[in-house]
Amino acid sequence: MSLQTRLMTAVIGFVSLILIIVAVITSATLGKTMEDQLDQKLSEYAHQLVRISQAVAPSSATAQNVLASSPAPPVGVLFVVSSPVTGFSGVVAKSEDGDEFAGTLDPLTGAQLAEIAVSLKDTRVATVTLTDLGSYRVMALPTSNGLIVVTGLPRDDIQNQLTQLLTVIALATIGGLILLALTTAITIRVSLRPLRAVALTATRVANQQLDRGEVTITERVPASEADPRTETGLVGASLNKLLDHVNTSLASRQKNEERMRRFVADASHELRTPLASIRGYSELSLRALRQSDPQAERPEVIESTTSSLERIQAQSLRMTRLVEDLLLLARLDEGRELVYGTVDLTQLALEGLSDARPTAADHHWNIDVPDEPVTIVGDAGRMHQVVANLLANARTHTPAGTTVTLSVAQEGQEAVLRVHDDGPGIDPAIRDELFARFARGDSSRARQTGGTGLGLAIAKAIVEGHHGLITVTSEPGDTTFTVHIPMNPATTGDAPAEA
């Protein structure tokens, strides 16, 4: 059963119940009022007939004789006289030609008199249904001359009026319920229209292929059906918000997939080069050994073999460093590899600059550190790696004569380390991907223009492992890498341990 049907059934059912209760209460109240009015009128007629009956002798007291000396009673009046001499007799006034006050007096049958006697056996006022006459309200009163006078008035008017009232109420109720049903159906249909729009939108989204490839969810609930000020419109607005979030997540997933494919391609390239070198030099060494006289150790063969083995060793070391860097990144992603202790960033900066200066004598190296040491809680070895990677990045990607300045300072509750150079700057096209793995400014990946492309990614992972932040600003002649590290992180991956 649909929501619209359930709502209509509930509304119409409750309203019908209320109308029925109102109709019952109304008819009962009106019936009681009309019965009271009938009893009052009956009492007046009864006392009037008692006065008339007292003027008649008991020996001649019959219903016909009593009424013969009085004006004709209204149509429908029932009159019975019980005399110890004449017995039990009664008449009822019948209409003649529709005149309410002119008619005939028809005698009551023995069965009808018996029905009246039974109804008045233990009471003075009763309601009795007489054969062929219908329902009557009767009252018995004694007279001073020993008679008992019974007067009755028909209840047909009450029953007819109640029947008409109930008929009107029933017709009005049916008409009102039909109108209510139409109004309710239209109101509910209009009110539930935003929900139908939500269902259609959800169905269209469900029919899209979301499991692979680049996916963009453009379906949205129309703004007219997503008014957050209404309950049903709030559902549409919430679905639109959810679809926005899902769309953003799908775009992020696609971006991660592309980054992963690029990562795999870059890693394959980085590993393929040393492997190819190892294979080439090993084949060269084997060829030289096969072509040489086994009985003679010629100097040129020994020299060629030694050079090849040295190259194999160099390429093996390069591949080992690459694999170790990848392993380090993986462990940092898992929150491992950091051993906390007290770290003097000032001392690290001095040592890092001392290590970098001999590797690039054609650069100008400057350092700016405070007189007091700047200490943090962190991993000394990994922080040294951050300094070394930033200085190596500045050395590798700037021409000879570039001035590189390393500075350390304390700003509030943070230690700030900056590496500044006045080189040509960073290409804006790669600035957003600068800290990505295997990100390099030279797409050719030549050895002389850079390393593996993992240095800045490792630096970023280490800084974030210390709950810090690394940023870069660059324009021609002014490039600065800035590292912010909390002096004493409130939360760390492991509980800090003093070195």
DSSP labels, 203-250: HHHHTS--SSS---------GGG--TTSHHHHHHHHHHHHHHHHHHHH
Confidence of residue 490 (pLDDT cuts 50, 70, 90): low
Does 405 have pLDDT greater than 80?
A: yes
Q: What is the pLDDT of residue 483?
A: 94
pTM for the predicted model, two decimal places? 0.46
Average pLDDT, integer, range 425-438: 78
Range ranked top by mean pLDDT from 20-24, 106-110, 156-160, 417-421: 417-421
Confidence of residue 275 (pLDDT cuts 50, 70, 90): confident
Lowest mean pLDDT among 212-216, 449-453, 475-479: 449-453
Confidence of residue 496 (pLDDT cuts 50, 70, 90): very low
Average pLDDT, integer, range 50-77: 81
Q: What is the pLDDT of residue 390?
A: 92
The angle, 0 to 180 degrees and rounded to 10, between the axes of the packed helices 193-206 and 231-291 is: 10
Q: Check: CB of residue 76 under 8 Å from CB of residue 158.
A: no
Q: What is the pLDDT of residue 416?
A: 94
Does 404 have pLDDT greater than 90?
A: yes
Query: Mean pLDDT, the chain, as a whole number?
Result: 80
Q: What is the pLDDT of residue 139?
A: 92
Average pLDDT, integer, range 229-238: 80
Q: Which residues of 75-112 are buried (b: 16+ CB within 10 A; e: fewer)?
A: bbbbbbbbbeebebbbbbbeeeeeeeeebebeebeeeb
Confidence of residue 451 (pLDDT cuts 50, 70, 90): low
Average pLDDT, integer, range 426-448: 65
User: What angle (nearest 5°) sits at the alpha carbon of residue 9, between those of residues 4 and 15?
Assistant: 125
Does 74 have pLDDT greater than 70?
A: yes
Of the chain, the percentage scoring pLDDT greater than 70 comes to 80
User: What single string gives the DSSP state of each residue in 353-396?
Assistant: HHHHGGGGTTSEEEEE--SS--EEEE-HHHHHHHHHHHHHHHHH
Nearest to 448 by CA among 401, 399, 404: 399
Residue for token pair 């009864």: 46
Q: Indicate the DSSP class of residue 337.
A: S
User: What single string gives the DSSP state of each residue in 426-475?
Assistant: --HHHHTTTTSTT--S-TT--GGG-S-S-HHHHHHHHHHHTT-EEEEEEE
Confidence of residue 445 (pLDDT cuts 50, 70, 90): very low
Q: How far apart are CA 263 and CA 433, in angstroms?
A: 12
Q: Indicate the DSSP class of residue 72.
A: P
Q: Check: CB of residue 71 under 8 Å from CB of residue 148.
A: no
Does 374 have pLDDT greater than 80?
A: yes
- Paired residues of 212 in beta bridges: none
Average pLDDT, integer, range 25-45: 89
Does 115 have pLDDT greater than 70?
A: yes
Range ranked top by mean pLDDT from 171-180, 183-192, 307-316: 171-180
Confidence of residue 291 (pLDDT cuts 50, 70, 90): low
Average pLDDT, integer, range 73-99: 81
Nearest to 128 by CA among 152, 110, 105, 147: 152
Q: What is the pLDDT of residue 484?
A: 94
φ and ψ of 106, to 5 deg: -95, 130
Structure tokens at 175: 């008409």
Does 493 have pLDDT greater than 70?
A: no
Average pLDDT, integer, range 16-44: 88
Lowest mean pLDDT among 223-227, 306-310, 445-449: 445-449
Q: Check: CB of residue 80 under 8 Å from CB of residue 150.
A: yes
Does 476 have pLDDT greater than 60?
A: yes
Average pLDDT, integer, range 35-46: 89
Confidence of residue 76 (pLDDT cuts 50, 70, 90): confident
Determine the 3-state secondary structure of 17 from DSSP: helix
Does 295 have pLDDT greater than 60?
A: no
Does 211 have pLDDT greater than 70?
A: no
Q: What is the pLDDT of residue 350?
A: 92
Average pLDDT, integer, range 143-171: 87
Q: What is the pLDDT of residue 498?
A: 40
Lowest mean pLDDT among 178-187, 225-234, 352-361: 225-234
Q: What is the pLDDT of residue 366?
A: 93
Q: What is the pLDDT of residue 441?
A: 57
Paired sense of beta strands 341-344 and 364-368, if any: unpaired
